[in-house]
Structure 1
Amino acid sequence: MLDLAALRRAVEEHDRVVRVVIADHRGSAPRHAGAAMLVWRDGQSGTIGGGRLEHEALRRARLQLAQQRPVETRAQPLGPALGQCCGGAVTVVSECFDRARLAQLGEHGAFLRPITPAAEHAGAPPKSLQRLLRTRHLPPVTLPPVTLARGWLLEPLFRPARHVMIYGAGHVGRALATLLVPLEDFDVTLTDARADLLADLPDRLILRADVHSALDAAPDTTEHFVMTHDHQLDLDLCHRLLARPAASVGLIGSQTKRARFRRRLQQLGHSLHTIDRLKCPIGLPELGNQPQAIAIGVAHTLLAQPPITALRKEAAE
């Protein structure tokens, strides 16, 4: 999928960016159609599978930037040409984006464009792709798949399936955010009033300095994880989260902290049934209590369960 927000951020920061996407794959390949990375003069984000395929794509993308070529399409056998063990083949499309090109995209759920000169001169896209665009408006609403046909490429715009809000950019918060943000299904926000802790983080990560306004703006299906440096702030956030819709609410800490918070949340008017929505501790205790181990445990729990779409709201009594 085309992550329009990430592409815009990269163009704003680096002015001109090449987006490299796997448009099609046949046989065994490191990544399937839709895998993409962004490349600028001295950096990149994302991956199309690593190894020689990605190394060559990076080299060609930077050459494309230097030569200011708008688009390049190439079929790439993986075994004979690159010596990779996959043995399949991919079609790689590299497109140069600047502010003017971004303005042409719109936000209509899918991005359809010609990627070869012959297709551009043909004028109209194939009828098969036009049908895919029409069916996305019919119930049940689904995004069209990444499809390459007769020199035209159709990609759905990225719509995250899961929203995660992390309160606190300390060791565990940063570890969890860094672990989750490359996963394509996740939209991850990290919030902390300490601005210095919100530096040197991945591009796709959404950063918020106002903790309470970030909570108020979170979609009702957000999965929340509270892990600030201040227990009183943790309590205030849990109090507010249990009084509003949320997919889940997790709190870092021990069984002792859980018992203390249960008592104090009762004093604030929450029923035991409501308090049971609060998961504490989070992660997998058997992995240990190092920040990265806690983050891995939380990520494992998230990946092992489907998105929670049912909203659970009980106002404080």
Structure 2
Amino acid sequence: MREILPALGEWYAAGSPFALATVVAVSRSAPRGPGAAMAVGPGDEVVGSVSGGCVEGAVFELAQEVLESGEARSATFGYSDDDAFAVGLTCGGEITLLVRRVTTAEDLSFGRVVATVGAGQPVTVATVTDGPGRRGATLAVWPDEARGTPGTLGTLGTAGLDAAVAADARGELAQGVTATRHYGPHGERREDAVTVFLHSFAPPPRMLVFGAIDYAAAVARIGDFLGYRVTVCDARPVFATPKRFPATVEVVVDWPHRYLRGTATDDRTVVCVLTHDPKFDVPLLEEALRRPAAYIGTMGSRRTHEDRARRLREAGLGTAELSRLRSPVGLDLGARTPEEVAVSVAAEIVALRWGGSGVPLTATTGVIHPPAPPG
């Protein structure tokens, strides 16, 4: 949903009601994960997607019904070969959607949620998807109260339910997890009453690119496209100039290891080292391999890698730390140009994130879209 929030924010600010369809559950080879969204707004304008095209027509009709009635609806779409003209997913998976109407009167928190996400700050939106009470009711939850603003806005129906959901939402938000939880009508830990979808909008993950060469520009562009908050760092000001990179990319002139030492990383952070110069690489990788990161890749030939690994062992890094290093960087695509290399690097990052094999799908069996790993 993050990519369509600017458009939704404009509709909301203009006082234009819209219907928001959100994927709240998936199974098997579903094309989009929980949180994917499509909205129908003024003039029947459509933004977003919930299935990549399989069921959008049916969702559009359902959204129009919800806009007219104001009553939130749920719908499940799956694969069926019983009727050649049935609306369903061609991939064999199943998705469950919640469609609700959003207006300034019915959802007081939406504008603040849009502003929070736009500022790169965390927030979770909890929505009742099933059970007795107010299907479609929402509670926006921020990490805590700040500068006189409340830590929650909205209600799911009862104070007890709001309190229990807010506590769980903050825990999931800290991990960047979107999930479904079940409660009793007053927040009891039960499985048989109210189903609540917790949609976490954690800040975008970081991509740190070191070495402001032409390959870095291509990697920065594809990182930005994938939704990372990208920073390019180089100690050489003649190369580290903003005009060489997309406007959304931060460019820093500093020694790489010094910059990284002062920068927070977490288990979603991607580090791409493209300098292939020992005076930059070794102290930088000493720092990177001893801190949290999802991916640490370095550019260079196999001979360069062996020399780099020797220097790092001499600096005191052990086998476990060196095993985290993806070097040479990227998958074997036969890439030559900076843009092709960037695709190779992105492919490896995506495969590592989701547990992909990196081999052609024609050579595999089973589901195409595996479930997300836990946490």
Query: Is TM (by shorter chain) over 0.5?
Result: yes
Aligned residue for 2:359? none
The question of 1:198 aligning with 2:238 is answered no
Deviation (angstroms), 1:37: 1.6
Deviation (angstroms), 1:157: 3.0
Go from structure 1 to structure 2 and tell me whether the alpha carbon gap of 1:273 and 1:229 turns closer, same or farther (over 3 Å shift): closer
Aligned residue for 1:49? 51
Secondary structure of residue in 2 paired with 1:154: strand
Aligned residue for 1:93? 99
Secondary structure of residue in 1 paired with 2:328: coil
Deviation (angstroms), 1:165: 2.2
Aligned residue for 1:282? 329
Distance in 1 of aligned mates of 2:36 and 2:290:
39
* 1:155 corresponds to which of 179, 182, 197: 197
Considering fraction of residues, name the structure with more helix: 1
Distance in 2 of aligned mates of 1:223 and 1:119:
38
8 Å CA contact 1:145–1:155 kept in 2: the answer is: yes
Distance in 2 of aligned mates of 1:77 and 1:252:
44
Q: Which has the higher contact order (CA 8 A, sep 6+)?
A: 1
* 1:102 corresponds to which of 110, 115, 121: 110
The question of 1:225 aligning with 2:240 is answered no
> One-letter code of the match for 1:21?
T
Go from structure 1 to structure 2 and tell me whether the alpha carbon gap of 1:271 and 1:58 turns closer, same or farther (over 3 Å shift): farther
Distance in 2 of aligned mates of 1:32 and 1:132:
28
8 Å CA contact 1:251–1:280 kept in 2: the answer is: yes
8 Å CA contact 2:30–2:93 kept in 1: the answer is: no
Distance in 2 of aligned mates of 1:90 and 1:295:
30
Distance in 2 of aligned mates of 1:97 and 1:262:
58
- Structure 1 unpaired stretches of 5+: 182-187, 202-206, 310-317
8 Å CA contact 1:170–1:228 kept in 2: the answer is: no
> One-letter code of the match for 2:165?
L
Correspondence 1:111-126 to 2 at 5 A? 111-113=126-128, 119=134, 125=157
Aligned residue for 1:258? 305
Aligned-residue Cα RMSD (Å) equals 5.8
Distance in 2 of aligned mates of 1:263 and 1:87:
48
Superposed CA offset, 1:150-195 (max 9, x none): 99762213266995524165324434554x54xxxxxx33223654
Distance in 2 of aligned mates of 1:71 and 1:273:
59
- Structure 2 unpaired stretches of 5+: 117-121, 138-154, 186-192, 211-215, 233-239, 357-371
Secondary structure of residue in 1 paired with 2:196: strand
8 Å CA contact 1:24–1:147 kept in 2: the answer is: no
Superposed CA offset, 1:76-116 (max 9, x none): 66667853356978444144377953257697755135899
Deviation (angstroms), 1:21: 0.8
8 Å CA contact 2:297–2:326 kept in 1: the answer is: yes
Q: What TM-score do you get using the length of structure 1 for normalisation?
A: 0.57
Go from structure 1 to structure 2 and tell me whether the alpha carbon gap of 1:243 and 1:134 turns closer, same or farther (over 3 Å shift): closer
Aligned residue for 2:347? 296
8 Å CA contact 2:12–2:111 kept in 1: the answer is: no
Aligned residue for 1:185? none
The question of 1:83 aligning with 2:94 is answered no
Go from structure 1 to structure 2 and tell me whether the alpha carbon gap of 1:10 and 1:271 turns closer, same or farther (over 3 Å shift): farther
8 Å CA contact 2:123–2:202 kept in 1: the answer is: no
Matched positions, count = 285
> One-letter code of the match for 1:119?
R
Go from structure 1 to structure 2 and tell me whether the alpha carbon gap of 1:278 and 1:59 turns closer, same or farther (over 3 Å shift): same
